[in-house]
A and B are shown apart, each in its own frame.
Chain A
Amino acid sequence: MQNGQGARKHTIAVLVENKFGVLSRVAGLFSARGYNIESLSVGETLDPTVSRMTLVVRGDEFVIEQVVKQLHKLVDVIKVIDLTKENHVERELVLMRVNAEPQHRTEILRTADIFRAKVVDVTPTTFTLEVTGDESKLDAIIELLRPVGIQELVRTGKVAIARGSKTARRRPEERLGKGPDAERRRRELTNQLDEQSRDPRVVGFAD
Chain B
Amino acid sequence: MKLSGARIVLESLKREGVDVVFGLPGGAVLPIYDALYDFPGPLRHVLVRQEAAAGHAAEGYARVSGKVGVCMVTSGPAATNLVTALQDAYMDSMPIVAFTGQVPTHLIGNDAFQEADNVGITRPCTKHNFLVKDPKDIAPTIKEAFYIASTGRPGPVHVDLPKDILIKQADFDYPETVHLRSYNPTYEGHPGQIRKAAKAIMRARRAVLYVGGGVIASDAAAELMELAQLTRIPVTTTVMAMGAFPSDHPLSMGMLGMHGGYAPNMAVYNSDLLIAVGARFDDRVTGKVEFFAPQAEIIHIDIDPSSISKNIKVHIPIVGDARRVLAKLKGFLLEEGAGDPPAATREARDSWLRQVLQWQTKHPFRYDWDDELIKPQYVIEEVSNLTRGEAIIVTGVGQHQMWAAQHYRFRHPRHWLTSGGLGTMGYGLPAAMGAQVGRPDRLVVLIDGDGSFVMNSQELATIVENQLPIKTVIINNGGHGMVRQWQDVIYGGRFCSIDLSASPDFVKLAEAYGAVGIRAIKPNEVVPALEKAFATPGPVVVDVMVDKDEYCFPMVPAGGANKDMLLEKPNKEVKAKAAKSQTGF
Contacts and interface: CB of A to CB of B under 8 A. Distances in A.
Contacts, number: 36
B124 A32 contact: yes
B583 interface: no
Interface residues of B, number: 18
B180 A75 contact: yes
A70 B306 contact: yes
Nearest to B308: A69
Interface in A1-33: 16-17, 20-21, 24-25, 28, 32
Given A21-B123, A21-B131, A28-B124, A78 B182 contact: yes
Contacts of B181: 78
Interface in B540-566: none
Nearest to A78: B182
A70 B310 CA distance: 11
Interface in A47-82: 65-66, 69-70, 72-78
A65 B310 CA distance: 9
Nearest to A70: B306
Interface residues of A, number: 19
B3 interface: no
B252 interface: no
A72 B305 contact: yes
B183 interface: yes
A69 B182 contact: no
Contacts of B183: 75
B306 A75 contact: no
Contacts of A25: 123
B304 interface: yes
B570 to A, nearest CB: 34
Nearest to B148: A75
Given A28-B123, A78-B181, A66 B310 contact: yes
Contacts of A16: 182
A77 B182 contact: yes
Interface in B170-186: 180-183
Contacts of B193: none
A66 B305 CA distance: 9
B309 interface: yes
Nearest to B119: A21
Given A17-B182, A77-B182, A78-B182, A72 B123 contact: no
Contact of B306 (A17, A28, A32, A73): A73
Contact of A65 (B120, B128, B148, B309): B309
B127 interface: yes
A70 B307 CA distance: 9
Interface string B287-324: 00000000000000000111011100000000000000
Contact of B120 (A24, A72, A77): A24
Nearest to B306: A69
Interface in B98-135: 119-120, 123-124, 127-128, 131
Given A66-B310, A75-B182, 12 more contacts: A20-B131, A21-B131, A25-B123, A28-B124, A66-B306, A70-B306, A73-B304, A73-B305, A74-B182, A75-B148, A75-B180, A78-B181
Going nearest first, the 8 A-B pairs with the smallest beta carbon separation are: A69-B306, A78-B182, A75-B128, A75-B183, A73-B306, A32-B124, A70-B306, A69-B305
12 contacts: A17-B182, A21-B119, A28-B123, A32-B124, A69-B306, A69-B308, A75-B127, A75-B180, A75-B182, A75-B183, A76-B182, A77-B182
